[in-house]
Structure 1
Amino acid sequence: MSGFSAELIDYLEGRITFEEFDRRRDERKVKVRLRGKVEVEESEKRRGKKGRRGRRKKKDEEEEEDEDEEDPTVGDVFALEMELNRENKKMMKERRHRSKLPRALRGLMGEANIRYARGEKEDAILMCMEIIRQAPLAYEPFSTLAMIYEDNEDVEKALQFGLIAAHLNPSDSDEWVRLAEMSLEQDNIRQAVVCYTKAIRYDPTNVRYLWERSNLHMRLGEQKHCMDGYRRILSLLPLEQGEHFMQLSKDMAKSYYESNDLTSALGVIEEALLRHPSLVTDDFINMAAELYIANRQYKKALQVPVDIVVLTEDACVSPGEIKDVQVPDSVPVDLRAKLIVCLIHMHVSAPLEVLLAPLMEQSPEEVGDLYLDVGEAYLEQGDYPSALPLLSALVISEKYNLAVVWLRHAECLKALGHMELAAESYSKVVEMAPLHLEARLSLATLQQQLGRPESALKALEPMYDSETLAQDSSAAQKELKLLLHRSTLLKTQGQTQDYLDAMITMISMLLKVAMQRAKVCVRSVTVSGQSHLRLLKIKDINRRNDGELVSCAGKTNVLSKEDWWQLLVSSLLTLCEVQRYEEAELLVDSAMEFYSFYDNKPKRKEMEFFGLSATILDHNHYKAYNYIRLMLMENVDLPQLWNIFNQLTITSLHQRHHRFCLRLLLKHPDSHALCVLCGHNAMVSGSFKHALGQYVQAFQTQPDNPLHSLCVGLTFFHMASQKYVAKRQALVLQGFSFLWRYLELRGECQESLYNLGRALHQLGLTHLAIHYYQAALKLPVQTLEVYDQVDLRREIAFNLSLIYQTSGNVEMARQIISTHCTV
């Protein structure tokens, strides 16, 4: 009771609609029934065996009484019939909705009605509200309140109370219909549908109710419910209303056809043909034939017109067996055209000449649609010579000089090889329908084949502005297809900047949200008098507002993930080719934010390599270090990555890589590259003992590598060169032993002799250093691709000049510098 009162208050105060109120009430009824069923089952279980014994005893007593009774007489049969009649009347009475107004309140309800009749409406309202408070399930006070408010012209409240009264006394179909009409006056179509549904529940064969509800469903755009209602009406219509049946069938078939549901449309038409064959008119036959043709059931389409006689070799209608078709003069021209279309699709050519002649005598201004139907049938079958005269007659007419006709005309000319004329027809299509994508693409292809690249590009100019693309997804898909063809054309013509504009526009359509996360935007700038697109960081836009921001639409599903990937790679490679490295970085940043794009790990790895390459080429060493650091953490044993890492640390001069290498060495203590790098870092920072430990570990791992011997020997020399050191001679001897091993492993070359001379120079043994420096100068340079990087003559000459200058031999120092160090 309390629950119902809360629902009632919510509805009266406008917090819920009547539909929601009715739904909650139905749910409560279901719950009450389920609860009662559970209670009955539990009661049955508690009664147990005792109840079963009682029923068995009662049954035995009844059997004994039956044995004592005599055979029934005529009077007994009459009495039994009377009892059955009383029971039936009782059951029918119980099926009617009884009033739930208690006896104690009936007098008050009568008094309220009397007050209302006298015009004392305020008192009547108070009495009705008191009755509702005590008996909220009685419909009488709600009905009286509805009449009172209707007299007061308060239609909204009258409708509210009327709906509650009808809900409590739902078997009155006329009342539900009246409430539906009132709801329509309030422009509440959804509520009117609910009311008609209630009326139909208690009067299911009322065609008018079904018709009105179906029309309301149509107004709401609920075509399925509307068609279901129409089908129900068709099943209820008697045979006497055949014309109504046929008209409704036509309307239903038309609606199904417009929604591309050919199967349902044909089902309705076939049912009408079988039920009322005598009422079939020419327009009905025309619709049936059109539906069969649309569904490619050409044999059935031939059988629909009863006046047309198909002559075959035997009784079976088969495409190869049709010899002739006899068409009376009374058959309309539109049915003749459909017959021609069927024969074309069935590859029956014998009767076509006879049938086409009367059609061609008709003016295309009057039957141009039939011309187009026959021409399109020829096009579908690839009979272009037969289609061309029909289409040519249409394009010169005034009424049918339409874009769709010019399009079919262009397709026909193109198939016949008339490229010049086809291009003119496609140009006409683009002129009349500038948003027709297929016509633009075909025109661009033809212009390119005809050697007109500028005309081809003009045909592929953008169709929509940025605002339309942002709001209309279908427009974005069309624009994407156009840009895809335009970019291909621009690339073949070598127009790199315009090609990048198209590629950036397409990529930004996919990565719109990702670019926002990466704080990247597309900006239009003027370069050499022409407008081009650039990728820019948003913070730079705030600082330099010298360009126009371009807003693009979101991603579309025109291309697959693999196609998008290829577009992205091509864009990155082209940006690097034209040295727009910073934009390549930003494009990689945006792509890395598009998480769903990476369906496998290798693609993400490849994108990271693109980002690393772009940052290195852009000399953005800080960002490049972040890329290489992540790569090394995943693959610590790849020498190429360590080579790049070394180049970055040397170029950037940052010291933060020291701790990174130490932390990584703790995780990978057996990594040879990390061992050597940590030794280098320790050597640079002056921790010679730590460097010596790392170099010795590397030497033990690869004793035949000359680099390790060189590093160990140089570390000993650095330790011996310190101010406070014990056993300096021992350190020097150990250093020399490793350097001699390095010379043996490396062989005598510019590099090895220069390193020996440099070590002796460091220890102050200049006379020995001069010997090795001069020996190194006499050796030829190693032949490598990068010649300048391995030629050490300038370094050797410079060191020699320092020795001579220190000893006072300035002339010799100047001579060596002028010989080897002058450009």
Structure 2
Amino acid sequence: MLEDNLRNHVNDANLSVVDLLASVLMEMSAYVKALEHIEHAQQVYSTGQEIPLCLTIKAGVCHVHLGHLEKAEAHFSALKPENASSHPDLVIDVADSLVTVGQYESALKYYMMLEEDANKYNGYLHLKIARCYASLSKRALAIEYYYKAVKKLNDSVDARLTLSSLLLEEDRDDEAISVLSPPIESESALDTESDMSKLWWRSGKIKLKLSQIYKAKGSFDAYVDVLFPIIRETLFLETVQQKVKARKRLSRGVLSERVKVLDDHQTDNVFHGFRPVASSAELSKASRAKRLLQKKAAVREAKRAAAVAAGIDWKSDDSEDESPQVFREPPLPDLLKEEGNHVMIIDLCKSLSSLRRYWDALEIINLSLKLECNTLSVQRKEELRTLGAQIAYNISDPAHGWDCVRYIVSRHPYSFSAWNCYYKGILRNNRIKKHNKFLHSMRVKHKDSVPPILISAHQFTMISQHQAAAREYLEAHKLMPDNPLINLCAGTALINLVLGLRLQNKHQTLLQGLAFLYNNSRLCGDSQEALYNIARAYHHVGLVSLAATYYEKVLAIREKDYPIPVLPNENQDHVDDKKPGYCDLRREAAYNLHLIYKKSGALDLARQVLKDHVVL
């Protein structure tokens, strides 16, 4: 329409129409057409009055975008520092156009014309100047103007992020942390939640950047304190919102239509007073609709009474349109859609675990795995579940980590480390029977897996069912005959079985048990522990002379300390607190030997053994 108007008035073009048309065309990036209209207007008015400054500047902006910088400067020459304050919008348009084509030095010249009145622009002018200096790699000046900008800007998130990056490049880490940290003033002055959400220091981007700085500095406590709340809130909101279903609300008309089934006020009807002819489902719907209408009427009457009491004209709002449910936006939207964020979540969980904040780490792991729209790769999920299993191994109540533990065991049914983690969790939870079903299913699926067989055998031993335990240990021995632990467990189970009252072939069972113990000693290279186990077995069944012989062999060996095996990320405090000599069994052997001597009447020998090996 504007172009048609100009065609119809070729000789007397309206400059305001030209200005408007040029603005529209420039917004559409049609700089050639805009320039043609402006030049046509210049030709028409060349004999009369001067063309307005705004059109001259627009022509220069068009030349800038078309790459004619010399022509553009000729048009911009009309702007002088002395008259720049009278046309601030034109000056900013000129500078912005130069920025878009990478002419930062020229843009700075025009921005600086307005610096004296920079307070009028609430920090945005300083922000533009700072960006130009940053593009020119003049970081010191860029930092100076970014500081000026963030003091005035209402929304300073992006500016603070850029400023912190520049400070980090200058090795001014503490200043970068200060720029991103909340102000010292309390937030109590802002009462409403809407005000709180607009605070720049509550932005997820700010906290994410701050956490990255803390992590780079090695301040893992601060890193976790900053990052954990926003990750947890984001995952929690996404988990909750994916479960929310739009609740269908019936309109008043639909409810009234349903209630008609129960309408028995028609006195002229021959069936008045009888039960309505309808199905039970329709009658149930009608009853619910009637109650809902009564509830709405009561609420409406209460609102009317409150309005009348307050002296306000009450207007009934019978609108049946339900307002859509508004969800709170998470601090970090689309958190799980980027691979880098997956690594960040895993690093956060590892940091929480290293700081022994196990419950927080488990919460992040469970929320991440719970999301239906989860884009985590199989490898990342495996890492999270493995970490969750390790955490369940450490915490006092591993109930929240059972899913991870079961998954790891299911994925690695032949791994002793995985089953160690599982078994320790069972013992700590003190609810062994609860897990029998899972253990049985694993044994059915993997008949040649030794760890679940051993766990079943250990459970029988704990409840003194030594015959069942021996059966399980012997089954494991068939699969791994050269395993020292299996030989030891099988031997002890058979020897414990010997002490039962119902066993008939006790001597044969005893010999079998000792055979397993001697086999364990052979596999262990006649170690102190293996010899002590043989001595203890002889002592247990009353063969004290043989027991004394092996106790003396134990006393002749000085065993050095060995590190106690631990799982990754396991708490090692209880390991580090061990006193020297915790692997040496000479004191235990000496005490048991002194009991044998004492019972046989050799009190001097018993006293001498205690003096040599037990008394400190």
TM-score higher than 0.5: yes
Alignment counterpart, residue 393 of structure 1, candidates 113, 130, 149: 113
1:489 aligns with 2:213: yes
SS class of match (1:360)? coil
Q: CA deviation at 1:798?
A: 3.5
CA contact 1:782–1:791 (8 Å) conserved in 2: yes
Q: Which residue of 2 aligns with 1:426?
A: 146
Q: What is the distance in 1 between the residues matched to 2:181 and 2:422? A: 46
Matches within 5 A, 1:572-591: 572-591=349-368
Q: Does 1:647 align with 2:395?
A: no
The equivalent residue for 2:63 is 343
Counterpart position of 1:758: 536
2:91 corresponds in structure 1 to 371
In the alignment, is residue 503 of structure 1 matched against residue 227 of structure 2?
Answer: yes
Native 8 Å contact 1:582 1:615 kept in 2:
no
Which of 443, 447, 451 does residue 163 from structure 2 map onto?
443
- Cα deviations across residues 402-439 of structure 1 (Å, max 9, x unaligned)? 43222111112333344343333222222222313222
2:597 is aligned with 1:804 = yes
**Structure 2 match to 1:281:** 14
Aligned to 1:306: 39
Q: State the AA in 1 paired with 2:145.
A: S
8 Å CA contact retained: 1:426, 1:439: yes
Please identify, of 646-655 and 408-417, the stretch whose mean Cα deviation from structure 2 is larger: 646-655
The correspondence of residues 405-416 of structure 1 with structure 2, limited to 5 A, is: 405-416=125-136
Distance in 2, Cα, partners of 1:794 & 1:284: 106
Judge which range, 329-338 or 599-608, deviates more: 599-608
CA spacing shift, 1:553–1:812, aligned 2, 3 Å: farther
Q: 1:636 aligns with which of 409, 413, 416?
A: 413
Alignment-derived partner of residue 454 in structure 2: 676
Alignment-mate amino acid for residue 333 of structure 2:
N
- Answering whether residue 373 of structure 2 is matched by residue 596 of structure 1, we say yes
Q: Which amino acid aligns with 1:572?
A: C
Q: Which residue type is aligned with residue 396 of structure 2?
A: H
CA contact (8 A) 1:365 1:399 kept: no
- Matches of 1:599 and 1:470, distance apart in 2: 33
The 5 Å alignment of 1:327-342 reads 330-342=50-62
**Secondary structure at 1:511 match in 2:** helix
Q: CA deviation at 1:503?
A: 0.9
CA distance in 2, matches of 1:598, 1:398: 47
SS at match of 1:681: helix
SS at match of 2:70: coil
> What's the offset of the Cα at 1:796?
3.0
Alpha-carbon separation, structure 1, partners of 2:399 and 2:72: 79
Equivalent position of 1:730 in the other structure:
508
Are residues 813 and 569 of structure 1, via their aligned partners in 2, closer, same or farther at CA, if it must alter by over 3 Å? farther
Distance 1:622 1:356, change over 3 A: closer
Correspondence list, 1:731-750, <5 A: 731-750=509-528
C-alpha distance in 2 between matches for 1:554 and 1:336: 47
Conserved? CA contact 1:683–1:715, under 8 Å: yes
* 1:740–1:448 CA distance, 2 compared to 1 (3 A): closer
Q: Secondary structure at the match of 2:154?
A: coil
Mapped contact 2:207–2:226 kept (Cα < 8 A) = yes
Aligned to 1:617: 394
Distance 1:794 1:654 in 2: 35
1:815–1:277 Cα change, 3 Å: farther
Deviation at 1:394, TM superposition (A): 0.7
**Residues 773 and 516 (structure 1), Cα distance of their counterparts in 2 relative to 1, 3 Å cut:** farther
Contact 1:480 1:506 in 2 (8 A): yes
Matching residue within 343, 355, 366 for 1:566 = 343
Scaled by the length of structure 2, the TM-score of the pair is: 0.71
| TM-score normalised to structure 1 length | 0.55
Pick which of 790-799 and 408-417 moved more: 790-799
Matched, 1:708 2:486: yes
Amino acid at match of 2:585: L
Q: Partner of 1:220 in structure 2?
A: none
Displacement of 1:376: 1.4
Query: How much does 1:295 deviate?
Result: 3.0
Query: What is the distance in 1 between the residues matched to 2:487 and 2:219?
Result: 56
Query: Do 1:471 and 1:553's aligned partners in 2 also have CA atoms closer than 8 Å?
Result: no
Contact 1:462 1:482 in 2 (8 A): no
> How far apart, in 2, do the equivalents of 1:276 and 1:490 lie?
67
Tell me what 1:719 maps to.
497
CA shift for structure 1 position 624: 5.0
Deviation of 1:510 after TM superposition, in Å, equals 0.9
Partner residue, 2:25: 292
Residues 690 and 299 (structure 1), Cα distance of their counterparts in 2 relative to 1, 3 Å cut? same
CA pair 297-513 structure 1, distance change in 2 beyond 3 A: closer
**Which deviates the most, 727-736 or 783-792?**
783-792
Return the alpha-carbon distance in structure 1 between the equivalents of residues 504 and 160 of structure 2.
87
Using a 3 Å threshold, how does the CA distance of structure 1 residues 741 and 327 change in structure 2: closer, same or farther? farther
Q: 1:558 to 1:756 in 2, by over 3 A?
A: closer
Q: Which whole-Å CA distance do the structure 2 matches of 1:617 and 1:399 have between them? A: 58
Tell which deviates more after alignment, 429-438 or 800-809.
Answer: 800-809
- Per-residue CA deviations over 1:356-405 (Å, capped at 9, x if unaligned) read 33222661121121111111122222222222221111121378544322
Larger RCO (CA under 8 A, 6+ residues apart): 2
Deviation string, structure 1 residues 17-60 (Cα, Å, up to 9, x no partner): xxxxxxxxxxxxxxxxxxxxxxxxxxxxxxxxxxxxxxxxxxxx
Q: 1:347 to 1:630 in 2, by over 3 A?
A: closer
CA contact (8 A) 1:512 1:552 kept: no
- Alignment partners' CA distance in 1, 2:42 and 2:111: 29
Question: Which residue matches 1:778?
Answer: 556
- CA distance 1:445–1:736, change in 2 (3 Å): closer
Measured at CA, do residues 581 and 820 of structure 1 come closer, stay the same or move farther in structure 2, by a change above 3 Å? farther
What is the CA distance between 1:348 and its match in structure 2? Answer: 2.4
Counterpart residue type for residue 792 of structure 1 = L
Report the residue type matching 1:712 in the other structure: A
Instruction: Pick one of 203, 215, 226 that aligns with 1:479.
Output: 203
Tell me, yes or no, if structure 1 residue 769 matches structure 2 residue 547.
yes
The answer to whether the Cα contact below 8 Å between 1:407 and 1:426 also exists between their aligned partners in 2 is yes
Report the CA distance between 1:285 and its aligned residue. 1.7
Match of 1:665 in 2: 443
Report % sequence identity.
24
Q: Distance in 2 between matches of 1:459 and 1:812?
A: 78
Larger mean Cα displacement after TM superposition, 490-499 or 474-483: 474-483
* Cα displacement (A) at 1:467: 7.7
Distance apart, 1:602 and its partner CA:
4.6
Q: Which letter does structure 2 place at the counterpart of 1:704?
A: D
CA distance, structure 2, for counterparts of residue 675 and residue 327 of structure 1 = 105
Tell me which amino acid in the other structure corresponds to 2:482: D
Q: Is the 8 A contact 2:15 2:41 kept in 1?
A: no
1:803 alignment partner AA? I
Per the alignment, do residues 426 and 607 of structure 1 end up closer, same or farther by CA in structure 2, a change over 3 Å counting?
A: same
Residue in structure 2 matched with residue 557 of structure 1 by the alignment? 333
650 and 811 in structure 1: CA distance in 2 versus 1, 3 angstrom threshold: farther
Instruction: Specify which of 586, 589, 608 is matched with residue 793 of structure 1.
Output: 586
Distance in 2, matches of 1:671 and 1:630, equals 16
Q: Report deviation, 1:818.
A: 5.6
Whichever residue aligns with residue 557 of structure 1, its letter is P
C-alpha change, 1:473 and 1:297, in structure 2 (3 Å) is farther
Contact 1:368 1:394 in 2 (8 A): yes
Once the two structures are superposed, the pairs formed by residues 350-365 of structure 1 within 5 Å of their partners are: 350-360=70-80, 363-365=83-85
Which residue identity is paired with 2:596? I
In structure 1, distance between residues paired with 2:398 and 2:597? 40
Compared with structure 1, are the counterparts of its residues 373 and 612 closer, same or farther at alpha carbon in structure 2 (3 Å cutoff)?
same
